[in-house]
Chains A and B, each alone.
Chain A
């Protein structure tokens, strides 16, 4: 038994729903009690989908338990097929139905339906959403491609590919697909099928015709892509095109798989991240401490971008996706930190506090933590929120994705010169940490802080960032400081003051220095190098 307030992932049948909702011509008959229909609103509200997800819930009740829940399933299944006329159906059970063991697979088979039935076994008390999505996609691929012979691709002049892994409710999947498709167009590589997002069961059956697979989200597509590789000798790509360098690597990897020259495409496609990062005003980004948490794909990619393309220092890296813990551990070792593998958001919060980051890149969960700690933050991964489906084109992948990353990760941070001015003229009445931002003075009070509480993606929009993660803006100074040292400490900009205070106190405690004087403060600064 595990105590949970928030969860990073839903149950595995929600993963299956994401696959069903990604595709057309497919319907999912889910043996489940009435409350499980809440999952519909993930799609209709978070993603603002215009249609109900293609799911029929059997809605069995307590009074059915003593009688015949199997009959409830049979009826629902038959009605769903008649009403929605899908090309194929998925059948399965949610957590409660798993306990009553009605065997939806057997029941659906016995109905003698004229369309293919793909049974799903998703152990609810053991596995989670992403696993459920990957398993469902794999079962679909096996169901529709299994037993098919090796297709003859010898006549072809150009190699073709499938793009695998994009789903409903995936973080920016909608825009990533367009971006990656653009890269493949530039390389002159025809796309055979994009799946699951936008595919039909008939499209799934055509997957073996491609020469290779482009795997964008291993959490969803890895299992299926590995099976396709074994069964149809379809190699798969392994580079995730997030960031400028990774995208260039991706272009080269795809070019190799397709047997084409990457250079014309690389020349044609460009991005601004690299130049913006080299631009002198970006100097202040150097060594900014960043804490990264998310699904494995986005977290590992973000760490690389942070270090190699923005000049940040990765001070924490982790994932809730245990299935991909190994990849994240390897990446963390490369960045010189210990990987945090957990699905307990309280543990993540503790790790963020301990790491003292200046920027948090995480999920909606970390965004809330960062908001509480008054740290700048950007969202990089599922679980998603309605704000993660922006109206504008906003991919994470490809060259335009790199531009988006620069904007959305750098803008929450304070600009360099502003930082200096704050340090130099600390007594300016409009400029000190107890004053409101001057352009917001009309709002009075702490209105800007409250405004940013109401669901702004950049938690510090309008509010001065505050690096002191324990104390409120006008914090009380602790005992053990001389009056002069206290005054000197107050001259340090508030967004780094907390760290200066802690460093100085640690320095003093380790050396038995009491009370802390101005000298101690600067000794500590010299000792820690910042």
Chain B
């Protein structure tokens, strides 16, 4: 079959799009991480911050199992494990927390921002962490700022932890003077290398006042005010966007910067807001676009016409599906996402065909049954499901890598495609049977 013949119908004819599709909502077992898991990248991104989970042994065990990275001498996160004495009321939880924080700050005087992170148990026993953070902040500021947010699994899924963290951080940002000139704030963690690439592009476009949130230092927070324009680098930022809007900032609507098309549209949205001329935009982005197209070409043959099924994981799924569908010609069977933020996803959904299944939340057993019935060429799913699917003879891409690898921007467009193409290529290359 030629590549063209394998192209999905909608990519050729432009059938009705997915923005109107009613998502499938089922209630059952979820197979996702809780919001605490965001700490795995946040603690590396914000170099002077320390994340202290107030939770149970399960939380600590989750962090080391999910991270699978005990390579760091001492990570900038830890768990204050609530024990029986705390629950029986024999120990005052707040006093215990103060003691743990004292011990931590004595050992790590380099910490400039301490982040208390709420968990399922701390939420259920109604431990008031914002209040505790306020108390500890009075004790330890200005050397160490203390803030809090909830990453509990009864409220948040995976990337929503970062959303809550940034929402909490939004309240801490210094106020920009009313007379400040328009500035751009890019919201959502990006790999440092990607951040630097975007910084150079904005600079070339003449957008000089650009800040990234979270910043690499918790002690160097950007200003926010009515002249701040927000550009989302990640799709999971509902609460953070709201919090920044309440500080006066205004959201620029854009798709997410994945692949050539996504990145161009994302940059264009910012360029239009800042009055960049079409000529300059064209001139600045042309080399990147050309490189992205060239890099994508290496993987198109592997992906074009292939059917892909997304299990919910990070909320990036609709944007990733858009990339695969539009830029590589893959056929999307189902886009599962833990939470669908329609406003933020609008631009990406508009480019997806109307005949795919869009599902929000999960009953994992029913979803597995749907997936088996659809028998897709590639299943994008979490680590709990990957090997069992492979053992059934199916091909999978583990989704967590899409959050942990630099995939945004022109220079990473080829890498992103390769993440999906590699399992297919590998499957074709291996001559061993299972």
Contact = CB atoms under 8 A, between A and B. Distances in A.
B73 A372 contact: yes
Interface in B152-187: 152-155, 157
Q: Which of A14, A76, A95 has the most CB of B within 10 A?
A: A95
A42 B434 CA distance: 21
Interface stretch (B83-91, B221-229, B231-239, B404-412): B83-91
A52 to B, nearest CB: 5
A95 B36 contact: no
Interface in A1-18: 1-7, 9-11, 13-14
B124 A40 contact: no
Interface residues of A, number: 55
A368 interface: yes
A59 interface: yes
Contact of A51 (B29, B154, B388): B388
Contacts of A14: 58, 61
Interface stretch (B74-82, B138-146, B315-323): B74-82
Instruction: Give the size range of B's interface with the partner.
Output: 35 or more
B29 A56 contact: yes
Contact of A41 (B60, B82, B100, B384): B384
Contacts of A57: 29-30
Given A60-B154, A62-B155, A125-B83, A5 B61 contact: no
A10 B60 CA distance: 8
Contacts of A149: none
Nearest to B369: A83
Given A1-B80, A1-B86, A60-B154, A50 B120 contact: no
B383 A100 contact: no
A40 B31 contact: yes
B383 A44 contact: yes
Contacts of B61: 7, 9-11, 14, 39
Contacts of B429: none
Interface in B59-81: 60-62, 64-66, 68, 70-71, 73-75, 77-81
Q: Which of A9, A49, A124 has the most CB of B within 10 A?
A: A124
A3 B96 CA distance: 10
A95 B124 CA distance: 10
Interface string A106-141: 000000000000000001111010000000000000
B391 A51 contact: yes
B70 A6 contact: yes
A76 B366 CA distance: 13
B262 to A, nearest CB: 29
Interface string B22-51: 000000111111111100000000000000
A94 interface: yes
A65 B382 CA distance: 27
B11 interface: no
A10 B63 CA distance: 11
7 contacts: A5-B77, A13-B58, A33-B34, A35-B37, A36-B34, A38-B65, A95-B120
- The 4 A-B residue pairs with the shortest CB-CB distance in the complex, in nearest-first order: A35-B34, A35-B153, A40-B384, A50-B391
